[in-house]
Each structure stands twice: as C-alpha cells, then as structure tokens.
C-alpha cells in the first residue's frame, strides 16, 4: 500500500512539473507579427440604422503561420484595426503562402455625410457614410 502511494505521489509531481514547463515554453516559442494585409473592403448594410462592416483579407507567410488576433480602436472618425499572426519560432515549415479572411462589425455609430478612415495594419481605406 505504501509503495502504491509513493508511486502515485511521484506521478503527480512529475505531471505537474511537465505541464508547468511545457506551458511556459510554448508562450516563449511563439512569434507574433502584424499580418500582411492584401485587401480592406468597407460594406454598409441596408438596415436601420445602417451598419458598417469591414472585410479584411490577409496573408499567412508559410504553412505554420496562423491567424492570431484582431483588435480595434476608434478615435473620432478614425478606426484602427490591428491584425496579427502567430507561428512557432524555430519550426521548419513548407514555404506555401496562404490567406485568411475576417469580417469585422464596426456598428452603427456613424454620422451621415461624414468621412471615416479605417486603418488595418499598413492599409488605409476611407468611406463617406450615406
């Protein structure tokens, strides 16, 4: 009985150590970069009130790179959207360029006749609200 308890204790300690080490190592082995943006298209839904949406098409530099995160911030008539990708730092990957597409709802808080600027990483698009 004592021997079984001892092995169970060793197993638990080993499992905690392995999980703790691997989760710390993973976050340090991931590289986060701004995504290359190929296309930004503003769409205005014919609803009441009109809703503004942005369609974004971006690139994935190789077979290991995946979409990471999209954040948005608004300052007056300027909307800044940051799109990032993630990839393992030391991974050898097929050099196949891929794409991702995202639709972002910007809401209804837009004044008719006003000009708005949308910046998605290095791409800028302007539109006039109907």
Residue 96 has pLDDT above 60, yes or no: yes
Residue 22 has pLDDT above 50, yes or no: no
Say what the pTM is. Answer: 0.76
28 or 4: which carries more pLDDT confidence?
Answer: 28
State how far the Cα of 53 lies from the Cα of 108, in Å rounded to an integer: 9
27 or 45: which carries more pLDDT confidence?
Answer: 45
Q: String of b and e for 73-96 (b: at least 16 CB within 10 Å)?
A: eeeeeebebebebbbeeeeeeeee
6 or 108: which carries more pLDDT confidence?
Answer: 108
Residue 10 has pLDDT above 90, yes or no: no
Task: State the average pLDDT for the chain.
Answer: 85
The lowest-confidence range among 14-18, 56-60, 124-128 is 14-18
Residue 113 has pLDDT above 60, yes or no: yes
Beta carbons of 37 and 83 less than 8 angstroms apart: yes
Residue 25 has pLDDT above 80, yes or no: no
Give the pLDDT score at 32.
Answer: 97
């Amino acid at each position: 009985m004592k021997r079984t308890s001892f092995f169970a204790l060793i197993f638990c300690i080993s499992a905690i150590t392995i999980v703790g080490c691997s989760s710390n190592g993973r976050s340090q082995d991931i590289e986060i970069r701004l995504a290359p943006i190929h296309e930004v298209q503003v769409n205005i839904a014919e609803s009441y009130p009109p809703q503004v949406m942005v369609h974004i098409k971006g690139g994935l530099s190789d077979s290991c790179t995946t979409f990471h995160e999209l954040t948005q911030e608004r300052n007056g008539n300027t909307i800044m959207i940051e799109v990032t990708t993630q990839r393992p730092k030391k991974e050898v990957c097929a050099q196949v360029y891929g794409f991702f597409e995202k639709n972002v709802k910007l809401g209804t808080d837009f004044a008719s006749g006003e000009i708005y600027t949308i910046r998605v990483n290095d791409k800028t698009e302007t539109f006039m609200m109907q």
